[in-house]
A and B are shown apart, each in its own frame.
Chain A
């Protein structure tokens, strides 16, 4: 596991990371999200010690990496495997040679290296491409090799820095599936740095939102999308722009509060309230815990008391708010485009 405490990084008078705390357990994928410029890449470079933090500690398996000498650090680094953005494979080495590279830096015998490379390539489903050069592989295949390389030294922490950037949605999904599989089989703690909300929703167990160098919101993914209307929650489950933003009569915003919401709620609520209900916009997905998460905009066609409507939805595990989509300047941010916000909206939540 990895535990980051009060991590601060300053370049001169510029504070890029301001007392960042988080911990990731073995077998957990923790996503760190935020817009570009929030400090994500600096955080990644501090975690694998490519940059020395100004202050704070990074504990991996109980050892504080920030206090090590250059020499000690070299060997301690192997506890953290890094998967970089795609295109980080050495172009003049084959897939197998790329995976072998980190082992060549240590005194690992040739036969042991060969065996481990085979095992890793097999694990990521790339054994049949062992002798291909990166230029002969697709982006997704290259990233599988990148994952295998990150795991070469049997790290207890895997740092994935924008591992799906530049990949198409289908390839992204297959890489994320592999990442989840590696988490479960190898019980590795994964720090997933990304700006893609779909990625977080699909694979992360917990999520922390980085804004201007500080973590301003965090929690398990399920908890965030089901129990709040915060900026992060709305970025994770966005409604398409242009959906009933104005306050029309009878417009309600619904949010699934429980994983086991009955999918037939539309009919059953309509029947109970004796009204038609029009769906104006919505996004309902199964998230990583297997339950549903959703955000739907509806219009209740018959004039009814607000309390009555709210109660009807609440009894089905759906939180209902009257009115249009809560104002977010410039519309709803699409995945990866969470906009900077005024401080008063910065809602700080802590993990339960």
Chain B
């Protein structure tokens, strides 16, 4: 009897809560890295483009190419491909630490593109106002590009967080822990339907909350 192996409902939370914590930790660490590196990368991609503050065809083309590279591989393939690099950086290829590297590598170019798109949405005259008023490049970035694109960037952020929750589940395959690991190991491989259902419910809830919260923030930032 398959259902007989299911963890009793009362025992689900003792497995689920630590997994939730691990997912949160992974996504949290990855998102900090993604914002810290993806934001400048997105600014660089936009500002080296013909519409940017310091257009530079070669630089733009090369960064753009690298960013596309990071986004063109399915996450599972990317994760396997960068194993040597992961080993080099965190000195292990399993667990949460190992998952952070491929997740960041996938998340940074994704976020960079979202930032670039958000800035590109700003009409040209608004971007020109800064230059025409005698602002420096950094002043334009700070007071106009980032300020005006903030709602778009926040929207991108919630999109990115959701993508990273999904990737963290895939990273469960290399023993990264978290909800994905729990769902695969208990729910899928051991036919533990209680764990499976709980993981699904929690994941759906988290994604809904992130999206709802993100939309609320975007609305409050938009005038």
Q: How many Å from the CB of B24 to the closest CB on chain A?
A: 30
The reply on A50 being an interface residue by CB < 8 A is yes
Say yes or no: is B123 at the interface (Cβ < 8 Å to chain A).
yes
Q: Mark B115-134, 1 if CB is under 8 A from A, else 0.
A: 00000000101101111111
A77–B134 CB distance below 8 A: yes
Does B135 lie at the interface of the complex (its beta carbon under 8 Å from any beta carbon of A)? yes
Q: Taking chain A's interface residues, is the majority helix, strand, or loop, or is none over half, making it mixed?
A: loop
Kindly state the separation between the CA atoms of A85 and B125 in the bound complex, as whole angstroms.
8
- Distance, CA A84 to CA B125, complexed state (A): 7
The answer to whether A213 has its CB under 8 Å from any CB of chain B is no
Q: Which of B125, B133, B221, B223 contacts A105 (CB 8 A)?
A: B133
Residue numbers in A under 8 Å from B132 (CB-CB): 48, 50, 77, 80, 82
Q: Does A93 contact B (CB under 8 A)?
A: yes
State the Cβ distance, B134 to closest chain A Cβ, in Å: 4
Give the Cβ gap from A86 to chain B, nearest Cβ, in Å: 9
Which one of B83-91, B99-107, B143-151, B162-170 is at the interface? B143-151
- Nearest residue, chain A, Cβ from B144: A90
B150:A92 contact, CB within 8 angstroms: yes
**Complex alpha-carbon distance, A88 and B128, angstroms:** 9
Chain A neighbourhood of B126, CB < 8 A: 87-91
Q: Does A78 contact B (CB under 8 A)?
A: yes
Q: Are B134 and A90 in contact (CB under 8 A)?
A: no
Say if the beta carbon of B136 comes within 8 Å of chain A. yes
Nearest-neighbour CB distance to chain B for A36, whole angstroms, equals 16
B147 near A93 (CB under 8 angstroms)? yes
- Cβ contact within 8 Å between B148 and A90: yes
A50–B223 CB distance below 8 A? no
| Docked pose: A75 CA to B136 CA in angstroms | 10
List chain B residues, Cβ under 8 A from A106.
134
User: Closest residue to B136 on the A side, CB-wise?
Assistant: A74
A133 within 8 A of B: yes
Q: How far is the CA of A82 from the CA of B135 in the complex (A)?
A: 14
Assess the B125–A87 pair: CB atoms within 8 A.
Answer: yes
Q: Which residues of B contact A87 (CB under 8 A)?
A: 123, 125-126
- Pair B123/A102 contact, Cβ less than 8 Å: no
Are B134 and A102 within 8 A (Cβ)? yes
Question: A104 in the interface, Cβ–Cβ < 8 Å?
Answer: yes
* Residue numbers in A under 8 Å from B151 (CB-CB): 92
Nearest chain A CB to B48 CB, angstrom units? 17
Asked whether any CB of chain A lies closer than 8 Å to the CB of B139, the reply is: yes
Contact of A101 among B128, B143, B221 (CB under 8 A): B143
Report the minimal beta-carbon distance from A150 to chain B, rounded to whole angstroms.
Answer: 9
Partner of B133, one of A85, A89, A102: A102
Distance between Cα atoms of A74 and B223 in the complex (Å): 30
- Alpha-carbon distance A133/B148, docked complex (angstroms): 13
> B139: shortest Cβ distance to chain A, in Å?
5
- Assess A88 versus B147: contact at CB under 8 Å? Given A102-B134, A105-B134: no
Cα–Cα distance between A252 and B136 once the two chains are bound (Å): 60
Chain B residues close to A by CB (< 8 Å): 123, 125-126, 128-136, 139, 143-144, 147-148, 150-151, 221-223
Q: Which 9 pairs, one residue from A and one from B, show the smallest C-beta to C-beta distance?
A: A102-B133, A133-B223, A88-B125, A77-B134, A84-B125, A105-B135, A82-B132, A74-B134, A48-B132
Q: What are 16 of the A-B contact pairs (CB < 8 Å)?
A: A50-B128, A50-B131, A74-B135, A80-B132, A88-B123, A88-B129, A90-B129, A90-B147, A91-B148, A92-B223, A93-B147, A102-B135, A105-B134, A105-B136, A105-B139, A149-B133
Given contacts A92-B222, A135-B223, 5 further A-B contacts (CB under 8 A): A77-B134, A88-B125, A105-B135, A149-B133, A153-B133
Please give the residue numbers on chain A whose beta carbons come within 8 Å of chain B beta carbons, in ascending order.
48, 50, 74-75, 77-78, 80, 82, 84-85, 87-93, 101-102, 104-106, 133-136, 149, 152-153
